[in-house]
Chains A and B, each alone.
Chain A
């Protein structure tokens, strides 16, 4: 049974011109690290939250979200609780926003255990100490009594990760877990997440807008644009030879740290907001390869590439496009 299987998930909000998610299909196996990249508003967080059965209020939802085979779309409270307390959990971008500033770290960690598992204070505290040690914090007994403001951003993110591990999940959803942190702290948190993922055989969904970070940390990566998955590939291949014009655009917009320094080729225009829609490919207005009459009628489906069946792209012209120049420019 696949750990996470999102199948043609479409989420529509009243008043929006296009769906927030449009037929999103994504798979994540046990022990796999899968990246989800894309720009602000592309639907990454909505996708991740769907794996906890959290969908925007008032949304019209079709499709399925299967977590270890249980469908969370329209699921009852008992099933949602079962998944959220024992199968899947989430690490958010900003630990300061995710942890109540006026409660002690100990309360943050022990309360869910006492509420969901009915543990005593002693039992919950013993477990919290284990968790704080597991995320590499130096002095667990002291941290239990500390308040969030007494910890640095990096330490607090470790606390958030400890909280996410409390229910012994098999699926960890990480929504920009390091975006609020310094680069070297980012490395520490990713080292921690990678270590935990391997030691516990976790499936991990890593959301980031940093395509290089996804390439460096994931087995496989999905690229989202305007609520749709536009490309999926093993990380190394996605980075070395992006096929979808949007993925190419992302790489052409990212200044390289090494190698020749050419003028960046930004994608013109701006990402499509929820107030805009397009009859055909959502990327057509910004795409240098768009072909009138072909790209502006219907939306391209996400299909396996003939030349590489483990990759897929949603672009009418993907088979005929030249191999991207970024490949040569990058190590």
Chain B
């Protein structure tokens, strides 16, 4: 079966900073990969390269077995590629138009992507909203009149409207209250199972990654340090940095003092000096 995404050796630098270096992975249909790491570890840069918001300095991204974007010729091919990978941001306002009702936003996206029959669009809008647990009332509402969780689900519906192969979610549930976050997490696991949509899920929350993803890729200063099935990774972290991230998650019997000490050791052992300055 063709992989949804085939990513190899991505590298991106900004001036003297190496934001991402050596990220490779393959995402099978319906697969879900978590990108994990601290802020500044390169998660968002990687996500943005996947959807074409940033150009890698080197490395390739193959979508559905097609040629890498850089070599695509013609508007149609590039548009197909842009459709295939959709991004959901932490801030849902980045994908919704504040002046339009959620229903009209979705309708507009469908029209733009070549659905010219009004009745077909209307029924597709209902379908999309139902998929993320929203109904008539939310369709008729402006984004600011929805709760945070409803807004984020509307943003996901918008991304789904173009029938993408892959959704890239960058901390898309982090700002939500847990009771509402859980609603969105269930929507994500459903679209994966039912529609075979692949997910690249950026999150700092390991428990959430465990719930949503099969695999996780841990980034430290832009470099992958570990890439394994999430269950194995949590059972027996192979890299001291992964272990540190895992131990940092609060739980009963938790000892923040030990974690603080280990954090210093990991970062002192590392070749980077950013952390030395931070300590």
**Residues of A bordering B, CB below 8 Å:** 39-40, 138, 152-155, 182-188, 190-192, 194-195, 209-213, 215-217, 236, 239, 249-250, 252-258, 261, 263-268, 270-271, 273, 286, 331
Cβ-neighbour of A239 out of B39, B182, B252, B278 (below 8 A)? B252
**Does B150 have its Cβ within 8 Å of any Cβ on chain A?**
yes
The main secondary structure of chain B at its interface with chain A is: helix
Cβ-neighbour of A265 out of B182, B244, B248, B278 (below 8 A)? B182
Interface hits, B82-97 → A, CB 8 Å = none
Cβ-neighbour of B259 out of A187, A261, A268 (below 8 A)? A187
> Is there an interface contact between A216 and B207, defined as CB atoms closer than 8 Å?
no
**Does B249 have its Cβ within 8 Å of any Cβ on chain A?**
yes
**Does B2 have its Cβ within 8 Å of any Cβ on chain A?**
no
Q: Which B residue sits closest to A256, measured CB to CB? A: B207
Q: Which residues does chain B contribute within 8 Å of A258, judged by CB atoms?
A: 234
Q: Which residues does chain B contribute within 8 Å of A217, judged by CB atoms?
A: 250, 254, 256
Cβ-neighbour of A184 out of B182, B234, B245 (below 8 A)? B245
Given known contacts A182-B204, A250-B178, A271-B179, is B257 in contact with A195 (CB within 8 Å)?
A: yes
Q: Which residues does chain A contribute within 8 Å of B251, judged by CB atoms?
A: 212, 215-216, 257, 331
> Is there an interface contact between B182 and A266, defined as CB atoms closer than 8 Å?
yes
Cα A212 to Cα B208 in complex, Å, equals: 13
Q: List 15 A-B contacts (CB under 8 A).
A: A40-B148, A138-B279, A153-B39, A154-B278, A183-B245, A184-B38, A187-B247, A211-B178, A216-B250, A216-B251, A257-B210, A264-B185, A265-B182, A266-B183, A273-B147
Q: Which residues does chain B contribute within 8 Å of A257, judged by CB atoms?
A: 206-207, 210, 234, 246, 249, 251
Q: Which B residue sits closest to A189, measured CB to CB? A: B256
Cα A256 to Cα B250 in complex, Å, equals: 11
Cα A250 to Cα B220 in complex, Å, equals: 32
Cα A70 to Cα B82 in complex, Å, equals: 63
- The 3 closest A-B CB pairs, nearest first, are A266-B182, A253-B182, A191-B256
> Is there an interface contact between A270 and B150, defined as CB atoms closer than 8 Å?
yes
> Is there an interface contact between A264 and B256, defined as CB atoms closer than 8 Å?
no
Tell me the count of chain B residues lying within 8 A, CB to CB, of chain A.
43
Cα A126 to Cα B205 in complex, Å, equals: 40
B212 CB to nearest A CB, Å: 8
> Is there an interface contact between A270 and B149, defined as CB atoms closer than 8 Å?
yes
**Does B268 have its Cβ within 8 Å of any Cβ on chain A?**
no
Cα A138 to Cα B39 in complex, Å, equals: 22
Q: Which residues does chain B contribute within 8 Å of A155, judged by CB atoms?
A: 278
Q: Which residues does chain A contribute within 8 Å of B185, judged by CB atoms?
A: 255, 264, 266
B276 CB to nearest A CB, Å: 10
> Is there an interface contact between B38 and A182, defined as CB atoms closer than 8 Å?
yes
> Is there an interface contact between A191 and B207, defined as CB atoms closer than 8 Å?
no
**Does B124 have its Cβ within 8 Å of any Cβ on chain A?**
no
Cβ-neighbour of A249 out of B179, B207, B210, B277 (below 8 A)? B179
**Does B260 have its Cβ within 8 Å of any Cβ on chain A?**
yes
Q: Which residues does chain A contribute within 8 Å of B38, judged by CB atoms?
A: 182-185
What does the 1/0 interface line of B199-240 toward A look like (CB < 8 Å)?
000001111101100000000000000000000001000000
**Does B263 have its Cβ within 8 Å of any Cβ on chain A?**
yes
> Is there an interface contact between A190 and B186, defined as CB atoms closer than 8 Å?
no
Q: Which residues does chain A contribute within 8 Å of B257, judged by CB atoms?
A: 191, 194-195
Given A39-B180, A191-B256, A213-B250, 19 more A-B residue pairs with CB atoms under 8 Å apart are A39-B179, A40-B177, A138-B279, A187-B247, A188-B263, A191-B260, A215-B251, A216-B252, A217-B254, A217-B256, A239-B252, A253-B179, A253-B182, A257-B206, A257-B207, A266-B179, A271-B177, A271-B179, A273-B147
